[in-house]
Amino acid sequence: MKRGIVKALLASFALVALALSPTPAHAQSPAFVTLSFGRMQWVPTLKCVPLPGGVDLGTVADALQARGDVATGIVITDRTQETTRKCFLGYALQASWADIAGLADRGWSFVSGGTHAQDISSLPPSEQYAETCGSLQAFADHGLDASGMFAWANNVYDDTVQRTMVATCFDWGRRYSRRLNTPAINQAPYVQRTWSLTGGSCAAGTGSCSTYPPTVGAHSVYQPPSVFASYLAGSPDTWAVLQAYRLVKGSNLSGNLQWDCSASNPAQHWTNRGEMYCYRDYLTIVDSVPASSVITDPAGVAAAWGRTI
């Protein structure tokens, strides 16, 4: 039986158990996992031209579907056009609504990254509402419900807006952390934690790959698949969320965007952009998710843990 079918059955069992339990707060759920993609960047580019070695989300969807899995896309509505993939700042083509509809037909879910993905803390309340709850209308216009989560842009979080606005129209507000979520988040302010996959100098710590590529200002270290072992161990009553951005394969050792995903040892892989990650390592992470875990979206976890808006 395919892993995806097993997980669907486990999810259904968990929801029934929670509904029938006389003490729902103590009903144990399976381990949940969400595979998310930040800003729905369809394919990485250089000056709006798709990169040789860049992996598009259609290819990712094929690989996940072959495994019986699906993902959750984070959509910034003002960057999303009907049928054209908009180039944003030269480094990626954003998925169009047509792309999103095609992925939705394959089981993907979508949540909101807001209308502009900006720091909204200093905006007047009307504009704060438009950026958060107001962004849901664009999804509704395309037959989608994105109320499972609002992704705070760049981890710039406003607790007052989260409590008074976001929590009234979204199940969860996203912040970045490597901490697992538990049912304890099902209370105000209803904030969940997401682990963001990052590239950087290789994790080996020796050799030329450990010298951070000079085209990036801020130093980071590439996270090989082994880093996520305990995070994805499959403990009941936990929810792990892994967010990827732009995936690449092979190597490109010249020019503005560089990476090397060719070594057999992932500890020697590196990229010179924090949001670029090796596709092969990404699939290794996906394949490490225990068969007992349920891959679902934020709304699925909200339903299992009794979150109501």
> What's at 209, amino acid-wise?
C
Distance CA 80, CA 129 (A): 19
For the segment 257-274, the average pLDDT, to the nearest whole number, is: 94
Distance CA 178, CA 147 (A): 23
Model confidence at 13: pLDDT above 80: no
pLDDT score at 12: 55
- The dihedrals phi and psi of 196, each to the nearest 5 degrees, come to -95, 120
Q: Which helix (H) or strand (E) holds 287?
A: helix 279-288
161-202 per-position pLDDT tens digit: 999 999 999 999 999 999 999 999 999 999 999 999 999 999
Tell me how far CA of residue 246 lies from CA of 193, 243, 274, in angstroms.
20, 10, 10
The more confidently predicted of residues 262 and 210 is: 262
Model confidence at 33: pLDDT above 90: yes
Distance CA 183, CA 186 (A): 6
How many residues are given for the chain? 309
51-94 per-position pLDDT tens digit: 999 999 999 999 999 999 999 999 999 999 999 999 999 999 99
pLDDT score at 212: 63
Q: Which of helix, strand or coil describes residue 114?
A: coil
Question: Would you say 34 and 242 are in contact if contact means Cβ atoms under 8 Å apart?
Answer: yes
Model confidence at 18: pLDDT above 80: no
pLDDT score at 62: 98
- The DSSP annotation for 15-83 comes to HHHHHH-SSGGG-----EEEEEEGGGEEEEEETTEEPTTEE-HHHHHHHHHHTT---EEEE-GGG--SS
Give the pLDDT band (50/70/90) at residue 219.
low
pLDDT score at 10: 44
Sign of the CA dihedral running 286, 35, 60, 45: negative
Burial 148-159 (b: 16+ CB within 10 A, else e): bbbbbbeeebbe
In this structure, of 51-55, 146-150, 199-203, 238-242, the range with the lowest mean pLDDT score is: 199-203
For the segment 46-52, the average pLDDT, to the nearest whole number, is: 96
273-296 per-position pLDDT tens digit: 989 999 999 999 999 999 999 999
Give the pLDDT band (50/70/90) at residue 213.
low
Distance CA 18, CA 29 (A): 8
Distance CA 168, CA 86 (A): 31
Pairing state between β 49-50 and 41-46: antiparallel
Per the prediction, the chain carries an average pLDDT of: 90
Distance CA 244, CA 76 (A): 15
In this structure, of 34-43, 119-128, 194-203, 205-214, the range with the lowest mean pLDDT score is: 205-214
Question: Would you say 36 and 241 are in contact if contact means Cβ atoms under 8 Å apart?
Answer: yes
Q: pTM, whole model, 2 decimals?
A: 0.91
Model confidence at 116: pLDDT above 80: yes
% of residues, the chain, pLDDT over 70:
89
pLDDT score at 20: 44
Q: Which of helix, strand or coil describes residue 183?
A: helix
CATH of range 3-304; options 3.10.450, 2.30.42, 3.20.20, 1.10.287: 3.20.20
